[in-house]
Amino acid sequence: DQQVKQNSPSLSVQEGRISILNCDYTNSMFDYFLWYKKYPAEGPTFLISISSIKDKNEDGRFTVFLNKSAKHLSLHIVPSQPGDSAVYFCALGAGTALIFGKGTTLSVSS
Amino acid sequence: DAGITQSPRHKVTETGTPVTLRCHQTENHRYMYWYRQDPGHGLRLIHYSYGVKDTDKGEVSDGYSVSRSKTEDFLLTLESATSSQTSVYFCAISEERGSYNEQFFGPGTRLTVL
């Protein structure tokens, strides 16, 4: 059974609007959470993280929210830009291991 | 830049042949990982290493073996490649960032098994 679910395979947003990407998990053992971004033909790159003791972390246009009681993680991108078009993976960590979701493809149109 | 390179970047091979993929890092990180990425599956861990000659299995280790004889190199071997192993393979290294471990990924190797 999947421990990490990104239920939306794709998301389309207009430039300047908010993009919200979601991630749900089933196990409470994870103590940190990360988002990675991946462009075609490149390796994933780290975007933003949050510790299990926090509920929000912000870095420029990117904000990650954690709702531990609901076992839900979300990434908000405001304002969205065409260069944000990529595949976004949530990754849940315990120790040195990461478990990745299947990814959501974000398309931002100008 | 975590200084991770992968070779080859692309490879086409035939079913039943052995294949070795190489991951090289320049930063002396302890932890190294091999993942595969497939449509509809995201990134799945194959094997990882926590030091020279110290390795362990990940989620999808069947059909793969690894070796790490030097800190900087982590090799992934398909002893007898199958079409189901057609995938994009990513190597990663891990760096502690306070309360969490951030993984840095290499550029990937696209492997096609005919």
Chain segment B21-35, per-residue pLDDT in tens: 999 999 889 999 999
Q: How many helices (H) and strands (E) does chain B have?
A: 0, 11
Find, among B64, B63, B62, the residue nearest to B91 by Cα. Answer: B64
The type of residue at B94 is S
Which pLDDT score, from 0 to 100, does residue B2 have?
Answer: 63
* Contact flag B101-A102 (C-beta cutoff 8 Å): no
Average pLDDT of the residues of chain B? 93
Closest CA to B52 of B74, B35, B34: B74
Interface test mutation site (partner A, options B97, B99, B104, B110, max chain A beta carbons within 10 A): B99
Q: Is B40's pLDDT higher than 90?
A: no
Q: What is the pLDDT of residue B101?
A: 78
Q: Do A43 and B94 touch (CB under 8 A)?
A: no
A3 — pLDDT class (breaks 50, 70, 90): confident
pLDDT at B38: 94
Distances in Å between the alpha carbon of A102 and those of A20, B10, B41, B72, B103? 16, 23, 5, 29, 17
3 state DSSP class of B60: coil
Interface mutation vs chain A, best among B25, B30, B43, B90, most A CBs within 10 Å: B43
Q: How many CB pairs under 8 A join A and B?
A: 59
Would you call B44 and A100 a contact, using CB atoms and an 8 Å cutoff?
yes
Confidence of residue A13 (pLDDT cuts 50, 70, 90): very high
* Mean of pLDDT values over B89-98: 85
Q: What is the mean pLDDT of residues A18-35?
A: 94
Share of chain B above pLDDT 70, in %: 96
Task: Give residue-wise pLDDT tens across range A94-103.
Answer: 877 889 999 9
A60-76 pLDDT, tens digit per residue, is 999 999 999 999 999 99
CB atoms under 10 Å from CB of A53, counted, come to 10
Give the model's pLDDT for residue B95: 76
pLDDT score of A32 more than 80? yes
Instruction: Name the burial class of residue A80, with classes exposed (0-12), middle (13-18) and buried (19+) by CB atoms within 10 angstroms of its CB.
Output: buried
In angstroms, the separation between the Cα of residue B81 and the nearest Cα of chain A is: 22
Tokens of B62: 């069947």
Structure confidence at residue B39 (pLDDT) = 87
Minimal-distance CA residue of chain B relative to A2 = B41
Q: What pLDDT score does A97 carry?
A: 81
A3 against B46, higher pLDDT:
B46
Is 90 exceeded by the pLDDT of residue B66? yes
Task: Please tell me which of the candidates A6, A42, A93 has its beta carbon nearest to residue B107.
Answer: A42
SS3 B93: strand
Confidence of residue B1 (pLDDT cuts 50, 70, 90): low
The average confidence (pLDDT) of chain A is 94
Whole-number pLDDT of residue B106? 96
